[in-house]
């Protein structure tokens, strides 16, 4: 038996500095929430916000060298740096959008921000883990926090039901993921991703053992649940609709991006030798995910539910890049996720702003006439919808463009064709929101409370992000390409 | 001393338990029973990990088992709390009666 020497140095701590900062701030907010009175809970959210900003700057401590820390458990490479920045943006925007919302809905508890921070830590660990153990732990830290967050509106039966469904299916999916990890470990003898890749290269006969193939399939199921691939998407619409809107935004962007980070890392880093097996499965999954997501979204009248199906469809587009698997494919996964973060959080924040206590106003009919009552808000919503639909010059267009050109480059012509047809179908339900906002007479007066300034700031940042990525995509694509270099 | 059982037997037993758990999740209607089935699936995984760890002569698997048990405990705490909350609001935790949200 090998002997473990447990030792670590300050250099190791620098690698996980942002995680440490976020954890410390989460604990600090937790303690603070005990000591502040119910009326003066405002500072809790701002403290969490400060934590996210400090975590961002603490990233610079670990930059510069590609090092592994804690006996090769976590790493700090450009790939995880890209994702860590993305998760911090997600956490930042989510907290901004939540500040007014939590107060309105009476969930401005300390726990809310604490759990958002912990979930972010979990996401970061998923992106930086190079050992299946760390990836699993990161996933669970994230998931368990989100189970609670989905049901944090304790008096709202729909929110509790969302938490219930997410919990049961999430735990079920983790069991599959875990079994996949166990079988991979049993066949290769290591949990280290680089080690697994090495064993599979060195002893190619292992790759064709049934146990490896079953393990691969179980891993796909486990990750597929987290990123909502069809046919593992059943929980998505229910959970997205029932959860508090700010948490829906967090789930749709952060959890999905974290799932993809671990998915890409495991499959392109540890299992590239099995690519012949998994591209076929992924091809089918990508087509099914895009098509089912888009077609069911067509008939939705609740905007949260529609965005849930749209997020399934977007996972399908990202899978197209995954199948392509070439350099452009891998970098466009990252590019797409970044663009998706801005447009999706922006859209959900607008949904938050158009609601008030007791009335969420999430039916499409509620959006009739919004274009004249709240012109700026409607303009931002239009930008997000057009971006989601993939209209130039928004971020969504460039993201789709890169994804599909990666598929064409890798000679997956049919996949690209199906993807393009799908985005044509998708345009219908995104544009319908615009039609409601600008061309329909309101059936009833839409009662909207005072806009929370922080949520307005989140919308402004998202608009800026969408336009910036859409108009100057090459900077961001170059960043993404640098980030995936080690995977080549 | 362990009797000389080939590792594949342990793996088959673990696969069977996992399958029983998975089927249980799909066919049972009571949330608590479903949750027990999920726990059974996790235990089956633990058996696989320990088997692999023993026969591969590596500690990683055993280490993983400890974390899996911890995670399962954390999951149980959160899950049971959600069940209690749901029961208070609705008076039932039968999964086919939990249907406010659907398309």
Q: Which two tokens stand for residue A139?
A: 């996933």
pLDDT at B1 over 60: no
CB B55 within 8 A of CB B46: no
Whether the CB of B35 is below 8 Å from some CB of chain A: the reply is yes
Whether the CB of B94 is below 8 Å from some CB of chain A: the reply is no
**Residues of A in Cβ contact (< 8 Å) with B71:** 136-137, 140, 144, 174
Separation between Cα atoms, residue A344 and residue A257, nearest integer Å: 12
Cα A389–chain centre separation:
18
pLDDT at residue A1, as a whole number: 47
Which DSSP helix (H) or strand (E) runs through A209?
none
CB A109 within 8 A of CB A153: no
Residue A302's SS3 state is strand
pLDDT at residue A358, as a whole number: 75
Q: How many Cβ pairs within 8 Å bridge chains A and B?
A: 128
CB A258 within 8 A of CB A137: no
Could you tell me which residues come within 8 angstroms of residue A90 by beta carbon, excluding any fewer than 6 positions away? A120, A123, A250, A253, A254, A257, A341, A345
Q: Which residues 215-244 of A have a C-beta within 8 angstroms of B?
A: 237-238, 241-242
Q: Which two tokens stand for residue B24?
A: 């249980």
Q: Are A161 and B51 inside 8 Å of each other by CB?
A: no
**Residues of B in Cβ contact (< 8 Å) with A133:** 60, 63-64, 67
Q: Which two tokens stand for residue A482?
A: 């640098």
CB A91 within 8 A of CB A114: no
Q: Which residue has the tokens 């999964």?
A: B95
How much is the average pLDDT of B34-51?
A: 96
Cα A269–chain centre separation:
20
pLDDT at B4 over 50: yes
What is the sign, positive or negative, of the torsion defined by CA atoms of A303, A307, A310, A312? negative
pLDDT at residue A14, as a whole number: 86
Q: Are B67 and A191 inside 8 Å of each other by CB?
A: no
Q: Are A175 and B18 inside 8 Å of each other by CB?
A: yes
Q: Which two tokens stand for residue A232?
A: 């593992």
pLDDT at B51 over 60: yes
Please give, rounded to a whole number of angstroms, the shortest distance from the CA of B56 to a CA of chain A. 6
Please give, rounded to a whole number of angstroms, the shortest distance from the CA of A164 to a CA of chain B. 6
CB A140 within 8 A of CB A121: no
A351 phi, psi to nearest 5 deg: -60, -40
pLDDT at residue A233, as a whole number: 92
Are β-strands A74-76 and A67-69 bridged in parallel, bridged antiparallel, or unpaired?
antiparallel
Of all residues in chain A, the one with the smallest CA distance to B64 is A133
CB A407 within 8 A of CB A321: yes
Q: How many CA atoms lie within 13 A of A2 on its CB side?
A: 13
Of all residues in chain A, the one with the smallest CA distance to B37 is A172
Q: Are A164 and B21 inside 8 Å of each other by CB?
A: no
Separation between Cα atoms, residue A367 and residue A355, nearest integer Å: 11
ipTM of the complex: 0.96
Cis peptide, bond prior to residue A393, ω within 30 of zero:
yes
pLDDT at residue A362, as a whole number: 87
Of A159, A148, A145, residue with least CA distance to A241: A159
Whether the CB of B3 is below 8 Å from some CB of chain A: the reply is no
According to DSSP, residue A106 is labeled: T
pLDDT at residue A65, as a whole number: 66
Cis peptide, bond prior to residue A463, ω within 30 of zero:
no
Q: Which residues 147-206 of A have a C-beta within 8 angstroms of B?
A: 147-148, 151, 154-155, 157-158, 160-165, 167-168, 171-172, 174-175, 178-179, 181-183, 185-186, 189-191
Separation between Cα atoms, residue A45 and residue A51, nearest integer Å: 10
Q: How many CA atoms lie within 13 A of A406 on its CB side?
A: 28
Whether the CB of B58 is below 8 Å from some CB of chain A: the reply is yes
Class of domain B7-92: mainly alpha
Residue A451 CA: distances (Å) to CA of A80, A330, A351: 35, 39, 12
Whether the CB of B38 is below 8 Å from some CB of chain A: the reply is yes
Q: Which two tokens stand for residue A254?
A: 């952060």
pLDDT at residue A70, as a whole number: 84
pLDDT at B49 over 60: yes
- C-beta atoms surrounding A158 within 10 Å: 17
Of A51, A122, A59, A63, residue with least CA distance to A92: A51
User: Average pLDDT of chain B?
Assistant: 91
Please report, in tens digits, the pLDDT of each residue of chain A (488 residues total): 455 666 777 888 888 899 999 999 999 999 999 888 877 777 899 999 999 999 999 998 877 666 788 888 898 889 999 999 999 999 999 999 999 899 888 888 889 999 999 999 999 999 999 999 999 999 999 999 999 999 999 888 999 999 999 999 999 999 999 999 999 999 999 999 999 999 999 988 888 889 999 999 999 999 999 999 989 999 999 999 999 999 999 999 999 999 999 999 999 989 988 888 899 999 999 999 999 999 999 999 999 999 999 999 999 999 999 999 899 999 999 999 999 999 999 999 999 999 888 778 888 888 988 898 899 999 999 999 999 999 988 999 999 999 999 999 999 999 999 999 999 999 999 999 999 999 988 877 777 778 889 999 999 999 999 999 999 999 999 999 998 887 65
pLDDT at B96 over 70: yes
What is the sign, positive or negative, of the torsion defined by CA atoms of B31, B32, B37, B40? positive
Q: Where are the domains of chain B?
A: 7-92
């Amino acid at each position: 038996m090998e002997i473990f020497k447990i030792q670590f140095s300050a250099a190791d701590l620098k690698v996980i500095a942002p995680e440490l900062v976020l954890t410390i701030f989460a604990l600090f907010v937790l303690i603070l929430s005990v000591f502040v009175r119910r009326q003066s809970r405002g500072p809790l959210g701002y403290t969490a916000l400060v934590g996210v900003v400090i975590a961002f700057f603490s990233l610079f401590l670990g930059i510069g060298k590609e090092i592994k820390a804690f006996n090769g458990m976590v790493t700090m490479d450009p790939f995880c740096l890209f994702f860590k920045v993305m998760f911090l943006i997600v956490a930042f925007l989510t907290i901004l959008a939540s500040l007014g919302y939590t107060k309105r809905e009476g969930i401005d508890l300390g726990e809310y921000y604490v759990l958002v921070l912990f979930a972010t830590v979990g996401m970061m660990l998923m992106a930086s883990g190079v050992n299946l153990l760390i990836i699993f732990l990161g996933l669970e830290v994230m998931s368990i926090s989100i189970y609670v967050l989905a049901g944090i509106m304790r008096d709202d039966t729909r929110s509790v039901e969302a938490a219930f469904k997410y919990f049961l299916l999430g735990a079920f999916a983790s069991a599959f993921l875990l079994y996949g990890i166990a079988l991979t470990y049993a066949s290769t003898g290591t949990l280290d991703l680089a080690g697994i890749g090495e064993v599979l290269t060195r002893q190619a006969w292992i790759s064709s053992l049934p146990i490896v193939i079953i393990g691969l399939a179980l891993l796909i199921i486990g990750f597929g649940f987290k990123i909502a691939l069809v046919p593992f998407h059943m929980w998505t619409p229910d959970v997205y609709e029932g959860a508090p809107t700010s948490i829906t935004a967090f789930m749709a962007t952060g959890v999905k991006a974290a799932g993809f980070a671990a998915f890409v890392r495991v499959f392109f880093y540890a299992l590239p030798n099995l690519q012949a097996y998994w591209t076929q499965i992924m091809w089918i999954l990508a087509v099914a995910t895009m098509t089912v997501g888009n077609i069911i979204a067509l008939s939705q009248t609740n905007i949260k539910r529609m965005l849930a199906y749209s997020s399934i469809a977007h996972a399908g587009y990202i899978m197209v890049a995954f199948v392509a698997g070439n350099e452009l494919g891998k970098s466009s996964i990252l590019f797409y996720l970044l663009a998706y973060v801005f447009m999706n959080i922006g859209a959900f924040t607008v949904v938050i702003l158009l609601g008030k206590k007791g009335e969420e106003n999430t039916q499409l009919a509620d959006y009739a006439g919004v274009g004249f009552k709240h012109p700026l808000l409607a303009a931002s919503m239009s930008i997000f919808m057009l971006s989601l639909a993939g209209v130039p010059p928004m971020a969504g267009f460039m993201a789709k463009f890169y994804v599909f050109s990666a598929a064409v480059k890798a000679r997956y012509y049919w996949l690209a064709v199906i993807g393009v047809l799908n985005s044509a179908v998708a345009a219908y339900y995104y544009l319908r929101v615009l039609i409601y906002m600008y061309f329909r007479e309101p059936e009833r007066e839409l009662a909207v409370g005072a806009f929370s300034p922080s949520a307005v700031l989140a919308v402004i940042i998202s608009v800026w992000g969408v336009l910036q990525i859409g108009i100057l995509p090459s900077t961001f694509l170059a960043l993404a390409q640098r980030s995936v270099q080690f995977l080549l | 001393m362990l009797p000389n059982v080939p590792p594949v037997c342990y793996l088959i037993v673990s696969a069977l338990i996992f399958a029983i758990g998975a089927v249980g999740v799909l066919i049972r209607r009571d949330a608590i029973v479903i949750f027990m089935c999920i726990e059974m699936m996790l235990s089956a995984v633990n058996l696989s990990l320990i088997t692999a760890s023993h026969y591969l002569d590596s500690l990683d698997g055993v280490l993983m088992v400890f974390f899996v048990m911890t995670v399962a405990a954390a999951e149980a705490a959160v899950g049971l709390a959600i069940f209690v909350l749901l029961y208070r609001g609705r008076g039932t935790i039968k999964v086919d009666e939990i249907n406010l949200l659907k398309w």
